[in-house]
Amino acid sequence: MKKLFFALTACTVLFVACDDSSSSPSSENNSSVKSNSCSNADEPLTDPRDGKVYKTVKIGNQVWMAENLNYDVEGSWTNDSLDKDGSIYGRFYTFGRAKKACPDGWHLPTFDEIDELRENTGGVGLAGKNLKATSGWDKDEEGKDGNGTDKYCFGIKASGKSQNKEDGVYGVGKYAQLWTSTTFIRPEYDSYGNRIDRGSKVYYFSFTSSDSVYIESYDTTPAWNIRCLKGDSEPEPIAPENSSGYDDGAFTSKSD
């Protein structure tokens, strides 16, 4: 009788185990799905050009890529020494390429759209901390922890800077820059009052180890990262003429 009891018990255990395994999801990696447990997660973006999948998040009325773009195209490159395939920091794009790099249905954000993101995530003083990743950032100049809280699952990593492909990437752990599509020309004059044409400047989202984040401007020559915004691009606004993009922590008003 005892032998019969133990045999029945063993069969029951095996049946339950088999039943559990058949009802559980497959452990195989599905390339069309990318897990995002954040409460503000949106549908993953699959780039039809190369099949890469990106997490996305909804912040306010905007839906953003929650990872840097990693679409391999001429005019872009990776940090070969730390991230050759771009899976960590994405790729660095020249401005000319950045304007056309986002997949269909997504676009490079304007000054106003980046401004809206910053205001929705804590403003000048806190957006940096709230948008940055929780690891990988160096301490600031005062020795304060430079990591963020990633409150909005935006996950900005300290990818560094790149002026050109030949010189590579530097400042990893200290900086991250995201292109906008908004350019402007700031009038400059010599000592005789003659206007000097120094070409267009472009606005970008600038992260450091500080809790703050600024919208700054530079010329169009470097290569920086991209976060695409869902939807078709809107007509370019008239950008502020302040070359730094802010004045005492607040933006200058747009021109009429």
Could you list the pLDDT tens digit for every one of the 256 residues in the chain?
444 444 444 444 333 333 433 333 333 334 445 667 799 999 999 999 999 999 999 999 999 999 999 999 999 999 999 999 999 999 999 999 999 999 999 999 999 999 999 999 999 999 999 999 999 999 998 999 999 999 999 999 999 999 999 999 999 999 999 999 999 877 677 677 676 666 789 999 999 999 999 999 999 999 999 999 999 876 655 545 443 333 323 333 233 2
β-sheet bridge partners, residue 79: 83
Provide the pLDDT for residue 230: 98
115, 107, 101, 58: which is closest to 235 by C-alpha? 107
pTM of the model: 0.77
| Encoded tokens for 105 | 């249905």
Residue position matching structure tokens 């933006």: 251
Q: Whose CA is closest to 150, among 115, 126, 124?
A: 126
Residue labelled with tokens 């989202």: 205
Closest C-alpha to 87, from 138, 40, 50, 128: 50
* Cα angle value 238/239/244 (rounded, 5°): 170
Q: Are 41 and 153 in contact (CB under 8 A)?
A: yes
H/E element, 49: none
Residue 109 CA to residue 226 CA, distance in Å, equals 9
Nearest C-alpha neighbor of 157 from the set 172, 144, 169, 167: 172
CB contact at 8 A, 71 and 49: yes
